Amino acid sequence: MLDTFTFHHIGYAVNDIVVTAEYYVKAGWQLSEVYHDNIQNSKIAFLTKSGFPLIELVAAVDESSPVVSTLKKSGVSPYHICYEVEDIETAIKDMKHQRYLPLFKPVPAVALDNRLICYLYNKNVGLIELLNKR
């Protein structure tokens, strides 16, 4: 399962994308455009720097955004790792057998060219995002 997945990014819950990104930009990172994802009710942007992992910044649009609970529990922090998979439906089935709970059915991700994503949770591992390859 995880041995066939490809690492894609680390997701950070943030209060304000611009405020958090400022620290990275001063250190040589590049900030992408900020996307408004109506499905996830979140604002999303990516930070890139050669030789470093891709970082996704996720901020709530309002109190109904899923990232609000993460911010209340942990504050600004990394909260998920995303992996690319060949077939998201097959990967979800395989992960269910390993006691991961899908949090919703796969949905298109505006910030990732509308590729399908799904979050899964395992109490011993935490939150993992799956991203369907192109």
Across the chain, which has 134 residues, the per-10-residue mean pLDDT values are 88 98 98 94 97 98 93 96 96 96 96 96 96 92
Angle at 42 between CA 83 and CA 123, to 5 degrees: 45
Distance CA 106, CA 1 (A): 18
Confidence (pTM): 0.93
Domains of the chain by range and CATH? 2-132 (3.10.180.10)
